[in-house]
Amino acid sequence: MSALATTLQAFFTDRLIRQRQVSPNTLQAYRDTLRLLLVFASERHGKAPAKLEFDDLDAPLIGGFLDHLEHDRKNSVRTRNARLAAIRSLFRYAALRHPEHAATIERVLAIPPKRFERRLVTYLTEEEIEALLAAPDRTTWVGRRDTALFGLAVQTGLRASELIGLCCSSVHLGSGAHVSCNGKGRKERITPLTTSTVAVMRAWLDERKGLPGDPLFPTRTGRTLSRDALEHRLAEYVEDAAAACPSLSRKRVTMHVLRHSAAMRLLQAGIDTSVIALWLGHEQIETTQIYLHADLEIKERALAKTTPIETKPGRFRPSDTLLAFLEAL
């Protein structure tokens, strides 16, 4: 095998798995990125992936690969930047092992992430949340499961991966009711439950009758729900709920929008952003600031507390001949 092939294998087994002990999701994301890159480079150079060298993955090829992701595979700029981060991580690891390829590696590491427009987060109003949670048919087993699942999502703000990773022992009812999960970066997080959520979860657990290690929200066959199945169920309920709440039809509602909705609920209740960051499992409080930008009510309250400055309208009159000259240009 080539030096690139052996370095790539060591990057996964030594760097990611042994040293950093990354989560399975991170490992999968890096694997998918580098697999796409190797296939792209193999087609460009007419070589088998195992025979590619570092010089075959130079900056122009990496740039072409990033363009391919955006234009041919229709990846978003965020996804493109995430793929670039994985590539740069590999090349930083290779820089210490192969100084003879320093020039190629340095040029790849110099490729910057692409800037993109940051849009305001989408979230659901209380009326929209009520319509969504009323959509599942509670006379069926699936409907009762989904009522508990999406109700828990809206109240706790858990990520989709965290929700489908919950087991029956993750929910603790009674005094100090809460749900515990292993979040991003393998960080354990505990989120308290409201009285109404406790009632729904107690009813579901009584019906579920699963063992402590069984999935909390399984499929009909008892297996763990997939992310795609979760999004599909949500899309169906949003479509049904739009009949009672038309504003839902104008929003693209995903599982992450439910997470945003939980955060906005906390923010509008006056909860400090540092607490919201802990609630959501944000490693940096700056991540939570996006909700401040999206909340118009906070800005309106700030505006109401300000006193308008009483000034008379007028035109600037320069007091100097040189300033007058510049003003006339």
- What DSSP string runs through 4-35? HHHHHHHIIIIIIIIIS---HHHHHHHHHHHH
- Helix (H), strand (E) at residue 203: helix 195-208
Is residue 329 one of the residues assigned to a domain?
no
pLDDT at position 145 is 96
Is residue 312 one of the residues assigned to a domain?
no
pLDDT at position 241 is 96
**Do 196 and 90 share a structural domain?**
no
**Do 225 and 159 share a structural domain?**
yes
Q: Is the pLDDT of residue 109 over 90?
A: yes
Is residue 203 one of the residues assigned to a domain?
yes
Catalytically annotated residue among 68, 98, 202, 256? 256
**Do 92 and 175 share a structural domain?**
no
pLDDT tens per residue across span 288-326: 777 766 666 666 666 666 656 565 666 666 677 767 777
pLDDT tens per residue across span 225-242: 998 999 999 999 999 999
Exposure b/e, 127-143, CB count within 10 A at least 16 = b = ebbebbbebbeeeeeee
pLDDT at position 294 is 65
**Do 72 and 215 share a structural domain?**
no
Q: Is the pLDDT of residue 270 over 90?
A: no
**Do 292 and 223 share a structural domain?**
yes
Q: Which two tokens stand for residue 58?
A: 């130079």
**Residue 126 to residue 254: CA distance in whole angstroms:** 16
Of 59, 81, 109, the one marking the end of a domain is 109
Average pLDDT of span 109-130:
88
Q: The tokens 């989904």 sit on which residue?
A: 146
**Do 142 and 101 share a structural domain?**
no
Residue-range definition of the domain harbouring residue 29? 3-109
Residue 189 appears among annotated catalytic residues? no
Is residue 219 one of the residues assigned to a domain?
yes
81-95, 107-121, 146-160: least confidently modelled range? 107-121
Catalytically annotated residue among 159, 189, 208, 233? 159
**Do 224 and 98 share a structural domain?**
no
Residue 119 appears among annotated catalytic residues? no
Catalytically annotated residue among 145, 189, 260, 282? 282
Is residue 120 one of the residues assigned to a domain?
no
Q: Which two tokens stand for residue 121?
A: 């987060």
CATH number at residue 57: 1.10.150
The total number of structural domains in the chain stands at: 2
Of 109, 144, 175, the one marking the end of a domain is 109
**Do 135 and 252 share a structural domain?**
yes
**Do 54 and 146 share a structural domain?**
no
Q: What are the residues whose beta carbons fall under 8 Å from the beta carbon of 297, sequence distance 6 or more? A: 268
**Do 176 and 223 share a structural domain?**
yes
Is residue 83 one of the residues assigned to a domain?
yes
**Do 221 and 90 share a structural domain?**
no
CATH number at residue 179: 1.10.443.10
Band of the pLDDT at 120, cuts 50, 70, 90?
Answer: confident
Is residue 310 one of the residues assigned to a domain?
no
Of 75, 109, 143, the one marking the end of a domain is 109
Catalytically annotated residue among 44, 172, 184, 202? 184
* CA distance to 169, 189, 279, 281, per residue, from 182 (Å): 13, 6, 13, 10
Residue 237 appears among annotated catalytic residues? no
Is residue 119 one of the residues assigned to a domain?
no
**Mean per-residue pLDDT of the chain:** 89
**Residue 293 to residue 267: CA distance in whole angstroms:** 11
Residue 260 appears among annotated catalytic residues? no
**How far is Cα of residue 273 from the mean position of the Cα atoms in its chain?**
18
**Do 83 and 157 share a structural domain?**
no
Catalytically annotated residue among 80, 208, 259, 265? 259
pLDDT tens per residue across span 138-196: 999 999 999 999 999 999 999 998 999 999 999 999 889 999 988 776 778 899 999 99
